[in-house]
């Protein structure tokens, strides 16, 4: 009997392809299970789909699958997709949050499409957003981004200054402070990651208890991504932000030459 040679990669059956709808449903189920595991109702946690690098067709597909909240990291991507998503935003089918770093000179571009900004990290940025909103007679939902890990690679105000900044932001006409956002520590230490989320929750609770003008609606905690959403939900996350697990891994460009 002839010996068998090792199978080549082409001989191995490929994993059945999963659609965006399939992956969205799987992530939503994971979020629901995490909530139930800590005694929370699944509908207490919103799933924000991060659409970084995704084209408008993929965004429309995930909205068709049930997504009602998407987030963009980059202003240029938000602007590029805006015309193809305008009908969904106008109909209220989806809300669009800016979740990446925002410079003051990009405020006008963002406000043309975004229904919320989660990455407010300075009074100067908040002031620029408020001025534009006041001129347009609109109110914008905003969150204060807090760097709970202290990592230099992450944006956000320091935890010790977060309460003060949030009260300043809440007092600005044209803005509605809805809560706080953070990116968890880049660490395999689950306890360390969870401690950061706990700190954000305590900041939120302190601001709510302050009774300061405009802080009464600051209940949201946008924290937790693919690798740490269970820890975030255990600490009270009301929004988790997931991208690759919904859309699949991004294609890697082939080497040139």
165-183 per-position pLDDT tens digit: 999 999 999 999 999 999 9
CB 215 within 8 A of CB 170: yes
Q: Is residue 61 part of a domain?
A: yes
Q: Is residue 25 part of a domain?
A: yes
Asked whether the predicted pLDDT for residue 50 surpasses 90, the reply is yes
CA distance 13 to 179: 47
In terms of C-beta density within 10 A (0-12 exposed, 13-18 middle, 19 or more buried), how is residue 76 classed?
A: exposed
**With bands split at pLDDT 50, 70 and 90, how would you rate the model's confidence at 18?**
confident
Domain containing residue 109: 20-247
Q: Please state the rounded mean pLDDT for residues 83-111.
A: 95
Q: Is residue 94 part of a domain?
A: yes
CA distance 254 to 243: 23
**How is residue 176 written in tokens?**
């509605």
Predicted pLDDT of residue 255: 43
**Containing H/E element for 48?**
strand 46-50
Q: Is residue 243 part of a domain?
A: yes
Q: Is residue 145 part of a domain?
A: yes
Q: Per the confidence metrics, is the pTM higher than 0.95?
A: no
CA distance 20 to 26: 10
Which CATH number belongs to the domain containing residue 54 in this structure? Answer: 3.20.20.10
Provide CB contacts within 8 A for 20, sequence distance 6+: 58, 61, 62, 65, 246, 247, 248
Helix axes 190-210, 159-170, angle to 10 degrees: 40
pLDDT digits (tens, 9 = 90+) for 97-108: 999 999 999 999
Average pLDDT along the chain: 91
Q: Is residue 230 part of a domain?
A: yes
Q: Is residue 254 part of a domain?
A: no
Q: Is residue 6 part of a domain?
A: no
**How is residue 71 written in tokens?**
């987030």
3: DSSP letter: P
> How many domains would you assign to the chain?
1
CB 233 within 8 A of CB 240: yes
CA distance 187 to 230: 15
To the nearest 10°, report the CA torsion of 94, 118, 170, 136: -50
């Amino acid at each position: 009997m002839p010996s068998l040679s090792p199978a080549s990669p082409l001989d191995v059956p490929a994993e059945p392809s999963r659609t965006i709808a399939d992956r969205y449903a799987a992530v939503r189920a994971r979020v629901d299970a995490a909530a139930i595991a800590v005694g929370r109702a699944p509908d207490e946690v919103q799933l924000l789909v991060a659409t970084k690098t995704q084209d408008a067709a993929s965004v429309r597909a995930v909205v068709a699958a049930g997504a009602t909240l998407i987030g963009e990291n980059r202003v240029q991507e938000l602007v590029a997709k805006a015309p193809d998503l305008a009908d969904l935003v106008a109909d209220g089918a989806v809300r669009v949050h800016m979740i990446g770093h925002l410079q003051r000179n990009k405020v006008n571009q963002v406000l043309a499409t975004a229904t919320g900004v989660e990455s407010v990290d300075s009074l100067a940025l908040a002031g620029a957003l408020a001025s534009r909103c006041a001129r347009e007679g609109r109110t914008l939902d905003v969150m204060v981004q807090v760097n709970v890990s202290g990592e230099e690679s992450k944006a956000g105000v320091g935890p010790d200054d977060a309460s003060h900044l949030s009260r300043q932001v809440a007092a600005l006409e044209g803005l509605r402070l809805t809560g706080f956002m953070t990116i968890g520590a880049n660490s395999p230490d689950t306890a360390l990651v969870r401690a950061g989320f706990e700190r954000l929750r305590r900041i939120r609770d302190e601001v709510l208890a302050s009774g300061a003008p405009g802080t009464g609606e600051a209940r949201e905690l946008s924290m937790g991504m693919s690798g740490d959403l269970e820890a975030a939900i255990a600490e009270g996350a009301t929004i988790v932000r997931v991208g690759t697990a919904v859309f699949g891994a991004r294609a890697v460009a082939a080497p040139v030459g």
